[in-house]
Amino acid sequence: MSEQADRSDWATAAGYLGLLSVFIIPAPLAVAAGIAGLRDIRRARQRTGRRLSGRGRAVFGIVLGSVFTVVLVWGIAALALG
């Protein structure tokens, strides 16, 4: 059995929300979860010296979430200005 590294739950959530952000609605949540994941990873190192993984997932969530949040805002503006 291989031992799995500790991973930030926020980073995992950001990765999945980033994937789902293609459907637009969870895009802002992906950004928020990604930021929370990066913060969680940094705090775990400072507080306990324990290294959490998941930085890539958190960044992935922030990037995709940001892209589709812009698309969401653009779409809402287009509908509002119609």
Looking at the predicted structure, is the pLDDT value of residue 1 above 60? no
Give the count of domains, the chain: 1
- Closest to 56 in 3D by CA, of 67, 47, 64: 64
The pTM score is 0.73
Yes or no: say if 36 and 17 are a contact pair by the CB < 8 Å rule: no
Report yes or no on 1 lying in a domain: no
The verdict on residue 56 lying in a domain is yes
Model confidence at 2, pLDDT cuts 50, 70, 90, reads very low
- Domain containing 47 equals 9-81
Phi, psi for 31 (deg, rounded to 5): -65, -45
- pLDDT mean over 55-68: 90
Question: Does the residue 18 lie in any domain?
Answer: yes
In a domain, 3, yes or no: no
- Whether residue 57 contacts residue 65, with contact meaning beta carbons closer than 8 Å, is answered with no
